[in-house]
Amino acid sequence: MEWHFEEMVNPFYQFASGNLQESWKLRVHQAEVFHSALNFSQLGKTFSARKVMIPFFGFKESLLLKSFKKGFF
């Protein structure tokens, strides 16, 4: 039997965070980032990357965006 990533992953996109928590016994944070993790996994597969890393994603980017909007750059 041959498995394809899309066939295995597509059903999980339909689950809401609450359903993921209940059915897969995930913690709240895990359920919230589950769909993003699937997207990053697909990016890694598409570009044949062993790792997809976004260093310091989140906090620093939000500070940079706020600084940019205030006209510091």
Q: What is the C-alpha to C-alpha distance for residues 62 and 30, in angstroms, rounded to an integer? A: 22
Give pLDDT tens digits along the chain (73 positions).
566 766 777 777 777 877 878 887 878 877 777 777 777 777 778 888 776 666 656 666 666 667 767 765 4
pTM for this entry: 0.50
pLDDT computed for residue 62 by the predictor: 64
At CA 21, angle to CA 59 and CA 49, rounded to 5?
A: 55
Contact yes or no for 48/54 (Cβ under 8 A):
no
Map tokens 């209940």 to a residue.
22
Contacts for 23 with CB less than 8 Å, ≥ 6 apart: 15
Contacts for 58 with CB less than 8 Å, ≥ 6 apart: none
pLDDT computed for residue 48 by the predictor: 83
